[in-house]
Structure formats: C-alpha cells, structure tokens
Amino acid sequence: MYPLNYIQPVFRPPSEGRSLILQVTNGCSYNKCSFCEMYTDQQKRFSPKPIEKIEEELRGLAKAGYPVKRIFLADGDAMTLSTRRLVDILQMINKYYPDVQRVSSYCLPRNLKKKSVEELKDLRDLGLSLMYVGCESGDNEVLRLVSKGEDYDSSLVALQKIKQAGMKSSVMILNGLGGPELSEQHALNSAKLMNAAQPDYLSTLVVEFPTGSERFEEAFEGRWRKLGKLELFHEMQILLSNLELEKTIFRSDHASNYLVLKGVLGKDKEQLLSIVTTAINQPGMIPLREEWQRGL
C-alpha cells in the first residue's frame, strides 16, 4: 500500500497489517537468539536509518495524500535508538500525520534498561503507545539455552516500566520452545511472569524453523525435539491453568498455531481450558489447522 523502498525482508505483528511500516532501523542490534531467523541475511545487518531519510519518506507519503492511521516502527528493535532520536522521529510523525491514532514498536527488554519511566512517558505523550515484547519464556533455563540474553527479572522490569509509563504491552510466548524435557517449567514460569506483569495483550506462537533447527538445537545437546500436537496442547493447558490475569486480551491465532484460541483472561479462562482439554481428550472434536494452512 505504501510505496517505500524497504530493505527486505520486513516483519511486523499480525495486528499491524494495515499500518504504515516505517523502517527506522534495519535488522536487530542483538540478533543472537538461536530460534530467530528474521534478521540473519547479510543485508539485514543492523543499522539505524538516517533521520533525514525518515523525514523524506514521511514527507513524500503525506504530500502524495496517503492516509495513515497507525504506524509501526520497524525493524526488530527500534527501541534500541536513543530517546532523543525516538523523540525526533515521533515529532516528525506528528508533523506530517497529526491525526495518527497509534504508533507502536517491537521492544527487547534490554532496550529499556537505560530508559527511565519519565523518558518513556515523554515518548507516550508523543504517540508511542504500544510495545510488542518478545519475552518468549519466563523460564531462565530455557532463556539461557536459546541465547535470549534476557531472564525473568529483566523481562518483568521492562514490562513494569511500560505499564508505569502509561503504554500498553503485547507479549509473545513461544509454545514448544523448551522441548519435551523443559515443557512444564517453561509453561509454569511463563505463567508466573505474565501474572506478575499483567500485560494488556498476550499471544502464543508455536516455535518453528523453516530453514532448519541445527543452530538452535546445539545448545540443548540432544535434549530438544519438536513437540507434537498433543504435547503442545498439554503445554498450553499448563500455561492457561496457571495464568491469573485480570484483563488481558489473549490470542493464540498466529499461523503457526494448530489450535486457535481467542478470549479475555481471566473471564474466558475456563472456556479456553475446556477447548484445549477437548482437543486433548477427544481428537477431532475441535477443528485444527492443517499443515498446509500453517504458512510460515
């Protein structure tokens, strides 16, 4: 829809499908997570986009009359930029699109270590209102094995800062990330992290490796394998059973998921658990995605 020259590939959350994807950085500054292949191509080596180029793109879109209601700041961790640079970008957005409804971004927990709550409030006042945080797991052993570079505490601190700043958080947990041996503790500690953080949105994706899992499996030293459908459902059952959320919109509807779940936690907790239990105990009763529908 928007005629911009992106450095491909470009990724964005499913809910940003109609947003202007504004590439303010290229790639990911960390780029060490063993489960992630998104920014491993040579052309995706991390670099910030010159501020003059960002303004040129916004000016061109506005002059051509392209409507923009929502903007997603790409690539993988735009929040690694300094607060001053982010302020400049948001001020430009407000200059060319003063009626924009929402600005959002991916956010690694480490991105917020040196940003104060007051700085985040300033960004919120300029329109940056939603952070997509890939926690992946709340279990420290799993996080270490997948080279996430984060732990339970660093993830919680970041999510608390986001909430204190008046922003919303959308957290992603990877179903199956720990394999069969660590499945239960992965689910239990992920639930513990979510209970402490109370995010506005929570989604689960199934871990997949379109180009192969050799690099990922190396750290597990033979302890990891891909979970089967029933094992994934059991892990989901443990996660849901232990979630004590007050008002979190829950989605398990990414293309990677076999079992589609949607609801608000906690009011829909028992209903969602019933669906998962039925999928486990009465195969065929709950429609599942076929492999060809899981286009990754």
pLDDT range class, residue 294, cuts 50, 70, 90: confident
Q: Are 107 and 143 in contact (CB under 8 A)?
A: no
For the stretch 23-32, pLDDT in tens is 999 999 999 9
- Quote the CA–CA distance of 241 and 236 in Å, as a whole number: 8
The confidence score (pLDDT) of residue 66 equals: 95
Collapsed DSSP state (helix, strand, coil) of residue 289: coil
Lowest mean pLDDT among 9-18, 43-52, 84-93: 9-18
Please spell the DSSP secondary structure of 13-25, one letter per residue.
Answer: -GGGTTSEEEESE
- Quote the CA–CA distance of 296 and 293 in Å, as a whole number: 9
Q: What secondary structure letter does DSSP report for 226?
A: P
Q: What's the chain's average pLDDT?
A: 95
- How far is CA 188 from its chain centroid? 19
Average pLDDT over residues 97-108: 97
The confidence score (pLDDT) of residue 293 equals: 77
Q: Is the pLDDT of residue 195 over 60?
A: yes
Q: Are 26 and 75 in contact (CB under 8 A)?
A: yes
- Quote the CA–CA distance of 159 and 169 in Å, as a whole number: 7
Average pLDDT over residues 70-92: 96
- Quote the CA–CA distance of 57 and 70 in Å, as a whole number: 15
Q: Are 103 and 90 in contact (CB under 8 A)?
A: yes
In the block, residue with structure tokens 């992290």: 193
